[in-house]
Amino acid sequence: MAKLKDIAERVGVSISTVSRAISNDTSRPVSEETKQKIREAAQELGYKWHGSQKGAPQQVVETKRIACIVPQHLMDDHPYFSKVLAGFHEKMEEMGQLPAMVRTSEEVSDAERLKQMLRETGAQGVVAISWYDEELFGLIQKEGIAILGVSLNDDRLSVPVVDCDRIFSSRAAVRHLIEQGHTRIGFVGGPAYSRQMESEERFVGYKFAMLEEGLALRQDWLINTDWNVDRSYSGVSDLLSRLPKAEWPTAIFCASDMLAIPAMRAVVEREGRIPQDIAIVGMDNIDVAQYTTPPLTSVSVPKHEIGRVAAKSIVDYLDGHYPAGTKILLSCSLIVRESSSYSRK
C-alpha cells in the first residue's frame, strides 16, 4: 500500500503538505491545484483517500485528530526528525487513522496562538516532537487534551515520552573510546530544555562513563553549542587553536552527527588527523555519516521506529490504554567506522 512519503515524492511536496491535504486541514489549507495533484498521485499509487470522495466507505476504526508540533528547523528535510515524522505518519495510516496535522512550534509560540490552533483543528491529542514549553504544556493539559513527548528529556516533564535510551547509548559510545585507549575525551553538545547542558541525557551518559573510569572532565573540553552547528565548528576550532597539539583531547564525543561533522572539519583545518590525533564519535547515525571523510562512528538511533511507537502510543493513550508518566525508551546500537577505529593502547 502506498504511503504519504510515496505521494510526497511523486508530487514533489513535503509529507506534511500531503498530510494537510488528505486531512482537509482548513486552518492551513493546501491550494486546490496542489490538492488535485496529491489526489491524482494518491489514486495512481493506490492510496486509500479516506473521506475524500463521495460515497467513500466509512472507516471502521474510531479516528483520532492528532496534532504534531515540531520546531521549524526540524521539519521535512532534517535528517533525523524527517524519519521520525515519516514513521509516525506510516503507523497512523496502518491503523486507519487520519493523517496528523503538523504545526511548527513557532506557529503556537504563545497561549493565544496555541488555543487558536487547538480550536481550529479540534485536536484530541498533541505529539510534541523535540519541543517543550512548560507553560504551554500546562495549557494543553488544562484543556483536557492528551499530550505525548517525542525525543524530549527534561527533569520537569510529567507527560509520557517516546525516545531512545540516550544515557545508556552515550555511555556506550564513550566507553568505546576508552577501550581504544583514550583518557582525554571532550564533549560537544547542547542544553536540555532546562537550558542547562549538565542535565542533558547525552552529557549525563558521557559524564557517567568518564567518572566510572576515574577520568577528568576538563571544563575547557566541554563545548555547549546550544545545538548550533556553527558553534560546534567554532568551539572546536577555538579549543584546538588555544592549545599545543600535545595538549589536545585525543577524542571527542558529539551529542549528534550534525554537531560531529563541523567538529571534524575544525580538526582537519587545524591540521589534525582523524582518528590518529583526535577520534570522533557522533550520535543519530544519519545517512550522511557513512560518507564523511573518514566515515563517522555513530550511535544508531531507531528514528523511524520512534515515530511508529509514538503514533501507536498516542492513539492508545486516547483509548485509555496508556498510563500517564510512562517513558518508552528504545535501544540503540553503536556503528563503528573509521573516525574512531584507531587504538592508542
Name the phi and psi angles at 49, rounded to 5: -85, 95
Find the helix packing angle between 4-11 and 32-45, rounded to 10°: 120
Q: Which of 54-63, 92-101, 110-119, 191-200 has the lowest mean pLDDT?
A: 54-63
Instruction: Note whether 121 and 219 are same-domain residues.
Output: no
Instruction: Note whether 146 and 174 are same-domain residues.
Output: no
Grid coordinates in use for 240? 584546538
Q: How confident is the model at residue 54 (pLDDT cuts 50, 70, 90)?
A: very low
Instruction: Note whether 61 and 113 are same-domain residues.
Output: yes
Instruction: Note whether 192 and 259 are same-domain residues.
Output: yes
Q: Is residue 137 part of a domain?
A: yes
Instruction: Note whether 122 and 185 are same-domain residues.
Output: no
| pLDDT value of position 128 | 92
Instruction: Note whether 125 and 67 are same-domain residues.
Output: yes
Q: Is 161 left (phi over 0), alpha (psi -120 to 50) or beta?
A: beta
pLDDT in tens, 268-304: 999 999 999 999 999 999 999 999 999 999 999 999 9
Number of domains in the chain: 2
Grid coordinates in use for 194? 532546562
| pLDDT value of position 55 | 40
Q: How confident is the model at residue 134 (pLDDT cuts 50, 70, 90)?
A: confident
Instruction: Note whether 174 and 145 are same-domain residues.
Output: no
In CATH, what number is assigned to the domain containing residue 228? Answer: 3.40.50.2300
Instruction: Note whether 279 and 220 are same-domain residues.
Output: yes
**Does residue 127 surpass a pLDDT of 90?**
yes
Q: How confident is the model at residue 28 (pLDDT cuts 50, 70, 90)?
A: low
Q: Which domain holds residue 75?
A: 57-150
Instruction: Note whether 175 and 137 are same-domain residues.
Output: no
